[in-house]
Amino acid sequence: MEEKEKTPAQLRREALLDDRKNGYDRLTPEDEAAMQSYCEEYKKFLDAAKTEREAVDEVVRLAQAKGFVPFTRGMSANPGDKFYRVNRGKAIMLAVIGDKPLADGVSIGAAHIDSPRLDLKPEPLYEDSEMAFLKTHYYGGIRKYQWVTIPLELHGVIVKKDGSTVKVAIGTCPGDPLFTVDDLLPHLGAEQSKKPLGEAIPGESLNILVGSRPFKDDDGSDRVKLAILDILNQKYGLVEADFISAELEAVPAFRASDIGFDRSLIGAYGQDDRVCAYASLAALLETERPAHTAVCMLADKEEIGSEGVSGMKSAAFDTFMSDLCDAQRVALKVCYEHSFCLSSDVTAAYDPNFASVYDKYNAARVNYGMGFCKYTGARGKSGASDASAEVVGFVRRTLDDAGVIWQMSELGAVDAGGGGTVAVYMAERDIDTLDAGVPVLSMHSPFETTGKLDCYMTYKGMKAVYQAH
């Protein structure tokens, strides 16, 4: 059938208008197959990395399988070399040395591997009414009502008085017990239901139920607490004082799963920001001898402001980069001023069920690809790095050339809220930086949802940036 000649109006429409299309209308068969394979590996990563420490362990395992070796001060850094450095077991930096000198800058993918959760208090275990509980202090921006009556696992480390370390992961293996935080039954919850959503579940009530059976043949007090400590002592050699030097985290006992009849989505805990962390890592692992050195920074503590020795504000990243630069006799500041960073963090996906808090014309949409976010912040862009037009133009051109499906986005409507990423801390180092990542539904909840197409396109976009700059 002969194709009709396009009218002048149709030609102008095609030339002038930005016609946003669902990514599945643009997806090639090759990308479709690669997307399915990529997302299966990504789900495995999510299940293996429920905490920042476990994420680092899994990253090291994957990196070593690809030929990466630990980088120590004084080593040479030659084209094609693959290095990593672990920061206190909670953050990790990786690099593939490029053909061009570090004086010409590096291409950085920066993401974070911590997620909102319930941390145990230093002295958490107590008994009340012959039930044993663990007291918690929530970590990051959670909606507290979402964390009651769901199954929880317990992960982390215990450092004993003698300096030995015990790893804990309860709930991951078949047959393991699980834990939970109680809530009121509706029959007795009339007064609770009258409270605002943010006040109905006080933080101090997020106490984890861990047992109810008293220690046998004992006439003392706190028999249930004693029985729990006896179990922990037999399994881990733990005594109550060891909680003081422990880092134990309660995380949802959910497995990464396909969502929807069409299996087009992924549901899992911790996708903010392990979905972007995995994309940044997977892209680097597939990068062989780039033009500019490619660096992947996976930081801790973003959810509480990027603080501490393992957060993005720490000098640990500068030390790693300085040691690399020293290997080529390059000043760190020279390297930074010619570098580029994609701050790969998630953005809010438009949800029509809560349309009033979004600007639908500027919101990221599921299945529309990797989401650029020129600025984050709140209340007039406060706390944002606000990337320049030149930086956005560079990334736009790079991704288009690589066949990456992408979109522009904002994190909600003006004055509806806001948020931040590690971008501002990279920018403070004199590194051009742009936020870009996967749109997420139910962000910061115990079970977040992402589109498989967006997950894959973020990986493909990271790979393009590593190879293009």
Residues 6+ apart with CB under 8 A from 164: none
pLDDT at 18: 85
Whether the pLDDT of residue 2 is over 70: the answer is no
Residue of 420 and 247 predicted with greater confidence: 247
**Whole-number Å distance between alpha carbons of 436 and 451:** 15
Amino acid at 26: R
Secondary structure class of 44 (helix, strand, coil): helix
Does 273 sit behind a cis peptide bond, omega within 30 degrees of 0 on the bond before it?
yes
Whether the pLDDT of residue 1 is over 60: the answer is no
pLDDT at 284: 98
Give the residue from 223, 248, 237, 246 showing the smallest Cα distance to 126: 223
pLDDT band, very low/low/confident/very high, at 26 (cuts 50, 70, 90): very high
- How much is the pTM? 0.95
> Tokens at residue 32, please?
């479709």
pLDDT band, very low/low/confident/very high, at 219 (cuts 50, 70, 90): confident
pLDDT at 32: 96
Whether the pLDDT of residue 3 is over 80: the answer is no
**Whole-number Å distance between alpha carbons of 363 and 347:** 9
pLDDT band, very low/low/confident/very high, at 386 (cuts 50, 70, 90): confident
pLDDT at 323: 98
Q: Characterize 229-267 residue by residue with b for buried, 16 or more Cβ atoms within 10 angstroms of its Cβ, and e for exposed.
A: beebeeebebeeebbeebbbbbbbbbebeebeeeeebbb
**Whole-number Å distance between alpha carbons of 383 and 140:** 17
311: exposed, middle or buried (Cβ count in 10 Å: 0-12, 13-18, 19+): buried
Averaged over 174-181, what is the pLDDT?
A: 96
Q: Which letter does DSSP use for residue 245 in this model? A: G
Neighbours of 163 (CB within 10 A): 7
Averaged over 434-452, what is the pLDDT?
A: 96
Whether the pLDDT of residue 143 is over 90: the answer is yes
Residues 95, 294 contacting (CB under 8 angstroms): yes
Averaged over 194-210, what is the pLDDT?
A: 96
Find residue 153's DSSP bridge partners: 251
Sort residue 366 into left (φ over 0), alpha (ψ -120 to 50) or beta.
beta
Averaged over 329-337, what is the pLDDT?
A: 97
pLDDT at 411: 85
Q: What is the DSSP string of 183-210?
A: ---GGG-HHHHTS-TTTSS-GGG-PEEE
> How many residues appear in the chain?
469
Q: Characterize 443-453 residue by residue with b for buried, 16 or more Cβ atoms within 10 angstroms of its Cβ, and e for exposed.
A: bbbbbbbbbbb
pLDDT at 469: 60
pLDDT at 14: 85
| CA diameter of the chain | 93
pLDDT band, very low/low/confident/very high, at 420 (cuts 50, 70, 90): confident
